[in-house]
Amino acid sequence: LIGFFPCYALGNDIVVLDPEDRKTELTRFVTPRQQKGDRIATADFFRPANPDGTPPEELDVIAVQALTVGSEVTELMAELEKNGEFAEQLFVHGLGVQTAEGLSEWLHWKVRGWFGIPETQGRRLSWGYPAVPDQSEHEKVEGLLDFAQIGMTLTDGYSPVPEQSTLAMIVHHPQGIYYGMRNGRFLPDGSPDEVIRGTSRDATLIRTELLESDNVNEGAVEDESGSAVETPSGA
């Protein structure tokens, strides 16, 4: 499932509006802000509200996706475990997870085409990972997309079921990046556009060096899968 919604940023929140009238607020995604360094919040990558807090004349758009490979993988894993075929169970689990991630990336690629933006522009952020760690936001995605229609539900801890499923929002801004609450990295061009100018991500805050980090490997940025990866300049 994929949904496109008009939106704007209000502080650390992404205010999501009804596509039908573009005025009614449907929900707000809460995005935490780094407490040091460049103090990034995901909301910074969306068009900000007017100074008085009202929606801007030109709204932004957020894409929200829900994807699953279905319950068959989980059922097959249970059967293999019951039969003591543990190696095969691990192979099936890995295939299911990678299929979900691959389909999610494919859908993100399609969204870039629909938006008419370069293939490498923007990022897909999933809740529960460093940039947006609160998985309770999944309930808001459920309200927007009604993902029960594709067989998805949430656990009491807000994790998607079946396990081989993904939920994400797509940040299309050219300066969109992966980052965590303790680390991050900006693109090296250092030239914010008018969407960012004058907000908490003003040009004076943008720098090319790595943010201060408590991590042992300060050259690493956590990617969407939660793994530490080296980020090349301009990536």
CATH of 2-230, one of 3.10.350.10, 3.40.225.10, 3.20.20.70, 3.10.196.10: 3.10.196.10
Per-residue pLDDT of the chain (235 residues; tens, 9 = 90+): 999 999 999 999 999 999 999 999 999 999 998 887 778 899 999 999 999 999 999 999 999 999 999 899 989 999 999 999 999 999 999 999 999 999 999 999 999 999 999 998 999 999 998 899 999 999 999 999 999 999 999 999 999 999 899 999 999 999 998 888 664 444 344 433 333 444 444 434 433 333 333 333 333 333 433 333 333 333 3
Task: Name the residue type at position 177.
Answer: I
User: How many CB atoms sit inside 10 A of residue 127's CB?
Assistant: 21
Q: Rounded to whole angstroms, how far apart are CA atoms 3 and 140?
A: 13
User: How many CB atoms sit inside 10 A of residue 45's CB?
Assistant: 25
User: What's the predicted TM-score (pTM) here?
Assistant: 0.74
User: How many CB atoms sit inside 10 A of residue 39's CB?
Assistant: 14
Strands 153-154 and 220-222: unpaired
Strand partners, 82: none
